[in-house]
């Protein structure tokens, strides 16, 4: 039997995790001399490369000194925390990567807590020791303090530490002694990560992930905890509720390099994909056909937020996208449910609208961005948090929010968050910066990031994660400014924009095509204002000095998809097409909006 090591790599966003995985793949000699794999090999998704974050957990394996090392690359962002919790069930050890300057961050604490409770021993890598002003020894102490505060065992506290620079391709046991390769890290994995423990008994595999292939369908991914798994073996699928269904494994795959290789038998302790079992979900057990025994199940994070997805019915519909009908959108959302586990989709009273539930604004915005790149046109409503009735009491999701920012700006942040019903839990000085921890309703986080960055001159680092449902906290003030709304279809004329600049901040460029009901700017006052920026200057044969001064237009504000979703009001949509993002009123005509106001009032 081949020796196996299963290791999950966990790190905060931007601490160099994906770069380190790249170097490990190169060290495992997965590429021929003629191949040039480039950077960010594991972040194969376009959005992962652009955003600079890992979104999907992925498996890859290398062979080193006769041992197969299964590497599980995990996301570092809070909205994808569900991915992390699941895949840790497949690991026998964790490689904790920390920045030699920043040290362990809030998201690291959350994932590390899960790993320690699962009994996984950490191997710490202090990365980026080539950074100026870095403090590797202090960071090592901070990691120890973190582990201690998380009630780590004696064995877990006695963790080995490797130092180096993944970007420059070297690792060493002493950060002052630079080497020319990362082999000391691979040697440390073989030495300190235990091989899988295989208990006695028959087949048991916990489904921890699902892969979807458009050619063959769904495959269950997990680690074979005990027993053997053979092609065409009779199996039993044990659901989360204890129901048993007979099944058969038609094909088995193990991971080699980046791909899957079909095999006839899987050895205990290896990570594999099973095809042929029908109707499985995350947390189900694939067990022996004759004497099935279930494994403890795993919880899937509940959605905390919903948005309405609807067809694009603006005057510009169908100009840029290929898929514009409600059938197209429904089919795409149904396909996404197969592989996006924290997602839920419900029909509404309208055939053209669907309510989509997710873990956060970023979780759903990744789906929306993927759809627009595939050629879909759709409109998205304002994010709404999920409110439950528990024991007759209205309850809403509450999150733990951590803000890292300069000390002198802490008062501004505290004031901003307490206005949104946040409650401060702790305030920890960290050099010239301070780390603030709050409990805040999920409603209060929507739209907070952009305001916080503006108020702190871009210095604040915010992370948050779902904690629990708590009694409803009451009203939270929304956006203070109203919208500037276009009165006419046509082009945005520079002359008109110049004359109306004192009314507020514009979102559209000069000479851009606009339509009636489009939100083209933010009013400087609290009410919505309908304006006409399609008027041109009246030309006469009379001229006067000073009237023809060149218009000085303030550059328009441009939104990213997440910013647009967090900005809109309840009566507005974000229109998403392959090439454009537009904000618009739900009802385009002013008369219809006024009639709606009378009905509601």
Binding annotation for GTP: 14-19, 127-130
Q: How far is CA 510 from CA 192, 417, 459, 485, 556, in A?
A: 62, 36, 32, 16, 9
Residues tagged in the binding site annotation: 14-19, 127-130
- What is the rounded distance in angstroms from the CA atom of residue 121 to the CA atom of residue 124? 10
Beta-carbon contacts of 85 under 8 Å, excluding residues fewer than 6 positions away, are: 114, 298, 299, 301
Strand partners, 400: 439, 465
The crossing angle, in degrees rounded to 10, of helices 183-192 and 17-27 is 90
Are the beta carbons of 90 and 222 closer than 8 angstroms? Answer: yes
- What is the rounded distance in angstroms from the CA atom of residue 403 to the CA atom of residue 53? 19
CA-CA-CA-CA dihedral for 297, 53, 577, 593, to nearest 10: 70
Beta-carbon contacts of 520 under 8 Å, excluding residues fewer than 6 positions away, are: 484, 485, 486, 492, 506, 507, 508, 514, 531, 533
- What is the rounded distance in angstroms from the CA atom of residue 563 to the CA atom of residue 361? 9
At residue 193, φ and ψ (nearest 5 deg) are -90, 125
- What is the rounded distance in angstroms from the CA atom of residue 30 to the CA atom of residue 295? 34
What is the residue whose two structure tokens read 């924009």?
497
Nearest to 562 by CA among 466, 462, 394, 448: 448
b/e per residue 310-348 (b: at least 16 CB within 10 A): bbbebebbeeebebbebebbbebbeebeeebbbbebeee
Q: 202 is written with which tokens?
A: 């028959």
End-to-end CA gap in the chain:
74
């Amino acid at each position: 039997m081949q020796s196996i090591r299963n290791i999950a790599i966990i790190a905060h966003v931007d601490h160099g995790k994906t770069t380190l995985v790249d170097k490990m793949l190169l060290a495992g000699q997965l590429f021929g001399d003629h191949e040039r794999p480039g950077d960010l090999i594991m972040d194969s998704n376009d959005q992962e490369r652009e955003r600079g974050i890992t979104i999907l957990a992925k498996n890859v394996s290398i062979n080193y000194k006769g041992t197969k090392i299964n590497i599980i690359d995990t996301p570092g962002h809070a909205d994808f925390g569900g991915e992390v919790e699941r895949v840790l069930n497949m690991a026998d050890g964790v490689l904790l990567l920390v920045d030699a300057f920043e040290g362990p961050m809030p998201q690291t604490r959350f994932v590390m807590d899960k790993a320690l409770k699962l009994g996984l021993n950490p191997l710490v890598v202090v990365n980026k020791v080539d950074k100026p002003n870095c403090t590797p020894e202090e960071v090592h102490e901070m990691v120890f303090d973190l582990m201690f505060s998380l009630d780590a065992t004696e064995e877990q506290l006695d963790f080995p530490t490797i130092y180096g620079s993944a970007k420059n391709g070297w690792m060493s046991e002493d950060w002052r002694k630079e080497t020319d390769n990362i082999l000391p890290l691979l040697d440390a994995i073989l030495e300190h990560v235990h091989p899988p423990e295989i208990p006695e008994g028959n087949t048991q595999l916990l489904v921890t992930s699902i892969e979807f292939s458009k050619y063959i369908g769904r495959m269950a991914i997990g680690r074979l905890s005990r027993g053997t798994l053979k092609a065409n073996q009779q199996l039993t699928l044990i659901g989360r509720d204890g129901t048993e269904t007979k099944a058969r494994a038609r094909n088995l795959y193990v991971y080699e390099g980046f791909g899957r290789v079909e095999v006839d038998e899987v050895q205990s302790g290896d990570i594999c994909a099973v095809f042929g079992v029908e109707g499985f979900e995350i947390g189900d057990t694939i067990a022996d056909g004759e004497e099935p025994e279930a494994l403890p199940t795993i919880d899937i994070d509940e959605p905390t937020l919903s948005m309405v997805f609807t067809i694009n019915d603006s005057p510009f519909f169908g100009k840029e996208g290929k898929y514009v009908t409600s059938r197209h959108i429904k089919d795409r959302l149904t396909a996404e449910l197969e592989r996006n586990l924290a997602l839920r989709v419900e029909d509404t009273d309208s055939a053209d609208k669907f309510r989509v539930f997710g873990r956060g604004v970023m979780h759903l915005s990744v789906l929306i961005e993927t759809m627009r790149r595939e050629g879909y046109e759709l409109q998205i409503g304002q994010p709404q948090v999920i409110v439950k009735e528990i024991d007759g009491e209205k309850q809403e999701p509450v999150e733990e929010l951590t803000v890292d920012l300069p000390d002198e700006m802490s008062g501004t942040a505290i004031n901003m968050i307490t206005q949104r019903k946040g409650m401060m839990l702790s305030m920890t000085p960290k050099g010239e910066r301070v780390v603030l921890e709050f409990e805040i309703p999920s409603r209060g986080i929507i739209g907070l990031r952009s305001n916080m960055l503006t108020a702190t001159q871009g210095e604040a680092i915010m992370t948050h994660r779902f904690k629990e449902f708590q009694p409803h906290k009451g009203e939270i003030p929304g956006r203070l400014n109203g919208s500037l709304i276009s009165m006419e279809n046509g082009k945005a004329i520079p002359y008109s924009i110049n004359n109306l600049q004192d009314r507020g901040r514009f979102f559209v460029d000069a000479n851009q095509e606009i339509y009636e009901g489009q939100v083209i700017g933010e009013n400087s006052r609290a009410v919505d204002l309908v304006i006409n920026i399609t008027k041109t200057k009246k030309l006469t044969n009379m001229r006067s000095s000073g009237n023809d001064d060149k218009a000085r237009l303030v550059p328009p504000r441009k939104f990213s998809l997440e910013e647009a979703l967090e900005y809109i009001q309840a009566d507005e949509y974000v229109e998403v097409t392959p090439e454009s993002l537009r904000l618009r009123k739900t009802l385009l005509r002013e008369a219809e909006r006024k009639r709606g106001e009378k009905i509601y009032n």
